[in-house]
Amino acid sequence: MHLSQDIKPISYLKAKTANVINDVNENQRTIIITQNGEAKAVVQDIKSYENMQNSLNLLKLIVQSENDIENGRIIEQQDMFDTLEQKLFG
Protein backbone atom coordinates (compact mmCIF):
# COMPACT_ATOMS: atom_id res chain seq x y z
CA MET A 1 0.00 0.00 0.00
CA HIS A 2 1.30 3.44 -0.93
CA LEU A 3 -0.31 5.58 1.73
CA SER A 4 0.36 8.85 -0.05
CA GLN A 5 -1.52 7.56 -3.09
CA ASP A 6 -4.03 5.22 -1.46
CA ILE A 7 -5.59 7.51 1.15
CA LYS A 8 -7.74 10.33 -0.21
CA PRO A 9 -10.14 12.80 1.40
CA ILE A 10 -13.80 12.60 0.50
CA SER A 11 -13.49 15.91 -1.34
CA TYR A 12 -11.08 14.22 -3.77
CA LEU A 13 -13.59 11.43 -4.36
CA LYS A 14 -16.37 13.95 -4.95
CA ALA A 15 -14.29 15.94 -7.43
CA LYS A 16 -12.70 13.01 -9.27
CA THR A 17 -15.02 10.05 -8.91
CA ALA A 18 -14.51 8.77 -12.45
CA ASN A 19 -10.72 9.01 -12.10
CA VAL A 20 -10.79 7.15 -8.78
CA ILE A 21 -12.91 4.35 -10.26
CA ASN A 22 -10.63 4.09 -13.30
CA ASP A 23 -7.48 4.05 -11.16
CA VAL A 24 -8.88 1.40 -8.83
CA ASN A 25 -9.86 -0.84 -11.73
CA GLU A 26 -6.61 -0.38 -13.65
CA ASN A 27 -4.23 -0.75 -10.70
CA GLN A 28 -6.34 -3.10 -8.57
CA ARG A 29 -5.36 -1.06 -5.53
CA THR A 30 -7.74 -0.21 -2.74
CA ILE A 31 -8.26 3.46 -1.91
CA ILE A 32 -9.17 4.55 1.59
CA ILE A 33 -11.50 7.55 1.80
CA THR A 34 -11.24 9.85 4.79
CA GLN A 35 -13.74 12.27 6.25
CA ASN A 36 -12.62 14.83 8.81
CA GLY A 37 -9.26 13.08 8.97
CA GLU A 38 -10.69 9.64 9.82
CA ALA A 39 -10.87 6.62 7.53
CA LYS A 40 -14.53 6.12 6.63
CA ALA A 41 -14.76 4.04 3.44
CA VAL A 42 -12.85 1.85 1.03
CA VAL A 43 -13.05 1.88 -2.78
CA GLN A 44 -12.01 -1.41 -4.32
CA ASP A 45 -12.22 -3.00 -7.77
CA ILE A 46 -14.83 -5.72 -8.14
CA LYS A 47 -12.37 -8.54 -8.91
CA SER A 48 -10.35 -7.87 -5.75
CA TYR A 49 -13.59 -7.66 -3.76
CA GLU A 50 -14.80 -11.00 -5.15
CA ASN A 51 -11.43 -12.61 -4.38
CA MET A 52 -11.56 -11.27 -0.83
CA GLN A 53 -15.11 -12.57 -0.34
CA ASN A 54 -14.11 -16.00 -1.68
CA SER A 55 -11.13 -16.07 0.68
CA LEU A 56 -13.32 -15.15 3.64
CA ASN A 57 -15.81 -17.88 2.73
CA LEU A 58 -13.01 -20.45 2.59
CA LEU A 59 -11.73 -19.30 5.98
CA LYS A 60 -15.24 -19.67 7.42
CA LEU A 61 -15.38 -23.24 6.11
CA ILE A 62 -12.03 -24.00 7.70
CA VAL A 63 -13.19 -22.62 11.06
CA GLN A 64 -16.42 -24.65 10.85
CA SER A 65 -14.41 -27.76 10.01
CA GLU A 66 -12.05 -27.20 12.92
CA ASN A 67 -15.04 -26.79 15.25
CA ASP A 68 -16.57 -30.01 13.93
CA ILE A 69 -13.31 -31.88 14.55
CA GLU A 70 -12.96 -30.45 18.08
CA ASN A 71 -16.55 -31.46 18.90
CA GLY A 72 -16.23 -34.95 17.44
CA ARG A 73 -18.66 -34.30 14.58
CA ILE A 74 -16.76 -36.39 12.06
CA ILE A 75 -17.33 -39.54 10.05
CA GLU A 76 -14.88 -41.93 8.46
CA GLN A 77 -14.07 -41.22 4.83
CA GLN A 78 -15.22 -44.63 3.62
CA ASP A 79 -18.55 -44.25 5.47
CA MET A 80 -19.08 -40.89 3.76
CA PHE A 81 -18.38 -42.36 0.32
CA ASP A 82 -20.66 -45.35 1.00
CA THR A 83 -23.49 -43.03 2.03
CA LEU A 84 -22.91 -40.84 -1.01
CA GLU A 85 -22.97 -43.85 -3.37
CA GLN A 86 -26.22 -45.06 -1.82
CA LYS A 87 -27.84 -41.66 -2.31
CA LEU A 88 -26.61 -41.32 -5.88
CA PHE A 89 -27.09 -44.85 -7.15
CA GLY A 90 -29.75 -46.25 -4.84
Is residue 38, in this structure, part of any structural domain at all?
A: yes
Q: Which parts of the chain fold into alpha helices (H)?
A: 3-6, 10-15, 17-27, 46-70, 77-89
Is residue 31, in this structure, part of any structural domain at all?
A: yes
Return the CA Rg of the chain: 22
Is residue 56, in this structure, part of any structural domain at all?
A: no
Q: Can you give the pLDDT at residue 74?
A: 94
The CATH number that applies at residue 22 is 3.40.1620.10
Q: How far is CA 50 from the centre of its chain?
A: 6
Average pLDDT of span 74-84:
94
9 vs 7: CA distance, rounded Å: 7
Is residue 89, in this structure, part of any structural domain at all?
A: no
Q: What is the pTM of this model?
A: 0.71
With bands split at pLDDT 50, 70 and 90, how would you rate the model's confidence at 5?
confident
Is residue 83, in this structure, part of any structural domain at all?
A: no
Number of domains in the chain: 1
Those residues whose C-beta lies under 8 Å from the C-beta of residue 66, and which sit 6 or more positions away, are: none
Q: Can you give the pLDDT at residue 90?
A: 83
Is residue 17, in this structure, part of any structural domain at all?
A: yes
Of residues 7, 15, 11, the one with CA closest to residue 33: 7
Is residue 75, in this structure, part of any structural domain at all?
A: no
Domain that holds residue 10: 3-44
